[in-house]
Amino acid sequence: MRILAVTTSWPHSEDPAAGKFVRALHTELVKQGHSVTTVFARHDLTEVIGFGPWGRTIPTIPTIPDSMRLVGLGGMESIARVMGVFRAYRAYRDLGASITHAVNTQIHDADVILAHWAAPTGIWAGACVGESSIPIVAVAHGGDTRLLRRPILGYLSRRDLRGNLAGLVSTNAEGVRVVGGAARLPPGRIVQTPMGYDDEFFRPRNTAPSRTVADDAPVVAAGRFIAIKGFDVLIEAMNGVGRRLVLAGDGLTRGLLAEEAERHGVDLDMPGQLPPQELAQLFHQAALVVVPSRVLYGGTEGFPVTALEALACGTPVIATSTGGLPDLFPPSHLVPPDNAVALRAAILKQLATPSFPQLARPLEELTCRAVASRISSLLKYVVSVESERHGAD
């Protein structure tokens, strides 16, 4: 199948961790025999049309405005706070125009469009399809559900999605309800799943029945250093725990996190962005992995894959009750977001008596390979049904 993927998030020189889960999915789809072309939002002029294990990549022209890159593409509210409403609207409009232009150059050679983020990317893709019969399947990652709940922007986005989407992949139950409801999709055209973890790297270190780590093993968290990850709350929670904290990652808030650690007297190590094999090794050595994701401007992460990667390594995990985490984790391993006191209590409890959560679904169903297979089945089903429908017309 010829898949034309569209995304505003893709690894680049300034942030190699951005959109890793998107690239991992496309890589697995290629492995499963699909042809994948990805149109992505360009960050700098060094990004050109390329090829890799994830298929062909086509950057937009022009590049993302500098003012948008400072706050990321996660939500209109955060961009508007920095740029102002009218400048933010113009920036989004210009980005949308560049994406639709790139999609229009490739759409003739596609069987289906896979749009990461139902809004706005799914809406932009819909503007390209026109009278053609190419179906659009959107992936709701979290930020799009926030946009669809807004009074004015949400109404306009819901209107534009209605009739545009032929299928939906959502990383959490809220996305199924909000995006699936807006697009009026039946259950058979919706798949709910986190983006998968790579079991080539993230797996138990050995087959021993019990896990042993050093008495002074660190508490670990990993991800991009951006506000929605909640790492500042974790640093505050570590005050008085008596363990070293390792934050694996990088980003604009690195200096602020270092200052927070000094203020709270926390022994903090930031080794930078680690390749998968080194991150897996860090998880093996950890006493505990924490996923302290928070609610930001009314939105959440879809599902932080770090939680799956750590569990696959056999490491205990504590997470916050945001995004898709409550869909998979039991309440015993969840704490309220932005609550350092509750998080500290949960960390101390886990360090004293480690326990593993009973997940709502087995980890074997959540590998990149398994997730890509489910999405592939949805894409094939949607293409078949839409082809029959348009043939009957």
SS3 of the chain: the string is CEEEEEECCCCCCCCCCCCHHHHHHHHHHHHCCCEEEEEECCCCCCCCCEEECCEEEEECCCCCCHHHHHHCCCCHHHHHHHHCHHHHHHHHHHHHHHHHHHHHHHHHHCCEEEEECHHHHHHHHHHHHCCCCCCEEEEECCHHHHHHCCCHHHHHHHHHHCCCCCEEEECCHHHHHHHHHHHCCCHHHEEECCCCECCCCCCCCCCCCCCCCCCCCCEEEECCCCHHHCHHHHHHHCCCCCCCEEEECCCCCHHHHHHHHHHHCCCEEEEECCCHHHHHHHHHHCCEEEECCCCECCECCCCCCHHHHHHHCCCCEEEECCCCHHHHCCHHHEECCCCHHHHHHHHHHHHHCCCCCCCCCCHHHHEHHHHHHHHHHHHHHHHHHHHHHHHHC
Nearest 5°: phi and psi at 335?
Answer: -130, 160
CA distance 252 to 122: 28
**Matching residue, tokens 């990850």:** 229
Same fold, 2-196+367-392 and 219-352: yes
Residue count of the chain: 393
What would the pLDDT profile of 144-189 be if each residue is shown by its tens digit? 887 788 887 788 888 888 888 999 999 999 999 999 999 999 999 9
| Domain edges within the chain | 2-196+367-392, 219-352
What's the pLDDT score for residue 377? 97
Work out the angle at residue 17's Cα, subtended by the Cα atoms of residues 293 and 119, and round it to the nearest 5 degrees: 65
Give every CB contact of residue 37 below 8 A, 6+ residues apart in sequence: 2, 3, 4, 5, 55, 56, 57, 58, 106, 109, 110
As a whole number of angstroms, the longest Cα–Cα distance in the chain is: 69
Considering the domain delimited by 219-352, tell me its CATH architecture: 3-Layer(aba) Sandwich (3.40)
What's the pLDDT score for residue 210? 63
**Structure-block tokens of residue 83:** 């740029």
What's the pLDDT score for residue 373? 98
- Pairing type for strands 50-52 and 288-291 reads unpaired
In this prediction the pTM is 0.90
What's the pLDDT score for residue 44? 64
Nearest 5°: phi and psi at 36?
Answer: -120, 125
- Would you identify the CATH topology of the domain 2-196+367-392? Rossmann fold (3.40.50)
From the CB of residue 193, how many other CB atoms can be counted at a distance below 10 Å?
22
What's the pLDDT score for residue 74? 45
User: Residues 59, 26: contact at Cβ < 8 Å?
Assistant: no
- Region of 249 (left: φ > 0; alpha: ψ -120 to 50; beta: rest) is left
User: Which residue type sits at 206?
Assistant: N
User: Which residue ranges of the chain lie beneath pLDDT 70?
Assistant: 13-14, 43-47, 61-91, 131, 206-210, 390-393
